[in-house]
Amino acid sequence: MHVDKRLIKLAHNYRLTASISILSDLFAAFLTIAQAFYLSMIIDSVFLRSKSLNDVSNLIFILILVSVLKSLFIWLGQNSANKLAVNIKSNLRQKLTRHIFKLGPSYTKGEKSGEITNTVFNGIEKLEAYFSQFLPQLFLSALIPLLILIIVFPVDLLTGVVFLVTAPLIPVFMILIGKIAESMNRKQWKILNLMSGYFLDVIQGLATIKLFGRQRDIRKKIELVSDSFRISTMKVLRIAFLSALVLEILSTISIAIVAVEIGLRLLHGNLEFRQALFILILAPEFYLPLRQLGARYHAGMEGVSAAESIFKILKEPVKISSGKNTFNPGLAKNIKVEFQNVSFSYNNTKEAVKNLSFTLNPGTVTALVGKSGSGKTTTANLLLKFIENSTGKIIVNGMDLKTLSRNDWLKFVTWIPQNPYLFHESIKYNLQLAKPGATEEEIIDAARKADIHNFINSLAYGYETIVGERGARLSGGQAQRIALARAFLKNSPLIILDEPTANLDPQTELRLLRNIEMLTKNKTVLMIAHRLNTIKKADSILVYSNGEIVESGNYNELIELNGYFTKLIKSYSGEDE
């Protein structure tokens, strides 16, 4: 019998609810025994002892009372089990979501979004059957037959021995079949994860697929993935039905053996009718918990398979220090950042950046330039606390960035990436992400500064217009200007720009650059740039090569050096080196 200790530990936090569920079902089982006892007495009294209705009226009243109480305890047990499952699911989903947020973008970028989504939603839903059905039934399968054995042995020793010998056959066969089912359940869950990830990739890349005319190939692959999941699901169902059949046959044969041995002894006068009827009524109830456990075993195994993916994420170590210090808002009006011999490597591979030493001064724009993969984005991610430096220090206004709470620190930072993420919500919602609770006047003012207000006003629903997933209903320039409006609304003292004018036409680029100049005035700015227009006015330019700063200075100073920076400028402008 496979019991996941990690899942049991989750239930341990809700011991009271779990105990109520199990005790309620146990009381219901005790009342079932009482029900069998009074029913056998009534039938014996009426049919064999010729008692009248008045003679057995008290017994009938007690039988009705026992039946009502049994129903109440069954309802309470089921209700408590469902409540247990709901509480654990809610708690685990929150815990998993919090952990994913702690892991940050550096983790989610390395995983398939579809697989993570499938685990957070479908995976946790699969645990409901484990906690509401399988786990309570596991305890009841041990307790109820034991309770019935304690009652039956003094009444009829032979039947007690038959129960004792036949009962273990059901869990033995269940475990034998369950081992096969468990491996199939794991395989099915892995295929479902892969399928979820693949479908999400296909939907997100639909434009690219159509552009290259690969629809037929993708359809074939989807058919293969779907067919693979169908086959694995049918195998699991086949095993589940086979298991149910075997358990039903075993319990039916066991009940038949009890009925035959009781019938023979009753026929020869070696057993009283009332005792025989009492045991015959109890016989199905003795095997019922074991049969139910077999039926719920496969539902439980689905939960165990899903739990593997859940705990795999929870086991991922958080690589960012959980800093406790808050950033002083008084000092934060002017932010000074010092990189002191900072190095970082992804997964203990070659260092992405090494020995970085530079200063971002308040009121200045520092541009990072270099070929792709030279470490510019890694530098920005270090400053955003998405990743954490392996060696060296990042000092912010005299405080080590590692000691600062990430959530607190990011209140003072604005990041505008190349492709800003817009949610499938209204423009107003996407803007308010920067400042929850912002007034309508503040939102409009930010939109005016970003030169997007007139466009929003021209839309049928204005600021309530739904922009589509990833801003699908907007152009690149419009999406960038909404991201810029967010930055104006947040108005933070440190701004990180990751080539915000990439993929824009020259006219839109110039308009956006004017807005950016207004945004960055008197702020500390770090800009990752390739285009000449975006770096020419920078106060300081850091030239990257293979994760190191090879040159630094302003634009004119670097041109006079006629070194690596000059070669980059020529390559950007399309000139020969």
Helix-, strand-, coil-residue percentages of the chain, each rounded to 5: 65, 10, 20
Position 419 pLDDT exceeds 70? yes
For residue 330, pLDDT over 80 is answered with: no
Q: Tell me the average pLDDT across 444-473.
A: 87
> What is the reported pLDDT for 498?
84
Arithmetic mean of pLDDT, 156-161:
87
- CA distances for 103 relative to 60, 62, 110, 309, 383, angstroms: 64, 61, 11, 16, 16
What is residue 341's predicted lDDT score, i.e. its pLDDT?
A: 92
pLDDT for residue 576 is more than 50: no
Supply the mean pLDDT for the chain: 83
Element of type H or E holding 366: strand 365-369
Name the band, by pLDDT with cuts 50, 70 and 90, for residue 328: low
- Choice between 248 and 88, residue whose per-residue pLDDT is larger: 88
Percent of the chain residues past pLDDT 90, beyond the cut: 10
Q: What is the pLDDT of residues 39-70, one digit of tens each?
A: 988 988 888 888 888 888 898 999 999 999 99
Q: How many Å is the Cα radius of gyration of the chain?
A: 35
pLDDT in tens, 4-40: 778 888 888 888 888 898 899 889 988 999 999 999 8
Q: How far apart are CA 139 and CA 106, in angstroms?
A: 43
Gap between the Cα atoms of 241 and 116, Å rounded: 31
Give me the sign of the Cα torsion angle 79, 82, 86, 88.
Answer: positive
Calculated CA dihedral for residues 55, 60, 63, 68, nearest 10 degrees? -150
- Kindly tell me if the per-residue pLDDT of 323 is higher than 90: no
- Per-residue pLDDT, 511: 75
**pLDDT tops 70 at residue 329:** no
- For the residues 494-506, what does the mean pLDDT come to? 76
Under the banding of pLDDT at 50, 70 and 90, the label for residue 339 is: very high
Cα–Cα distance measured from residue 265 to residue 269, given in angstroms and rounded to the nearest whole number: 6
Question: What pLDDT, on the 0 to 100 scale, is given for residue 178?
Answer: 66
* The pLDDT of residue 306 is above 70: yes
Q: In this predicted model, what pLDDT tens digit does every residue of 509-540 receive, in sequence order? A: 777 778 788 888 888 999 888 766 678 888 89
Stretch 218-239: mean pLDDT: 83
Backbone φ and ψ for 278, nearest 5 degrees, come out as: -55, -45
Q: How far apart are CA 91 and CA 183, in angstroms?
A: 28
- Closest Cα to residue 95, out of 303, 316, 286, 246? 316
- SS3 for 240-301, per residue? HHHHHHHHHHHHHHHHHHHHHHHHHHHHCCCCCHHHHHHHHHHHHHHHHHHHHHHHHHHHHH
Domains and CATH numbers, the chain: 5-315 (1.20.1560.10), 331-572 (3.40.50.300)
Average pLDDT over residues 414-438: 88
Model's pTM, two decimal places? 0.73
Q: Is the pLDDT of residue 331 over 60?
A: no
pLDDT score of 336 more than 70: yes
Three-state DSSP state, 99 = helix
- Mean pLDDT in residue range 452-470: 87
pLDDT score at 450: 85
Question: Which tops the pLDDT comparison, 168 or 81?
Answer: 81
Say whether pLDDT at 577 is over 60.
no
Range from 85-94, 237-246, 321-330, 395-404 carrying the lowest mean pLDDT? 321-330
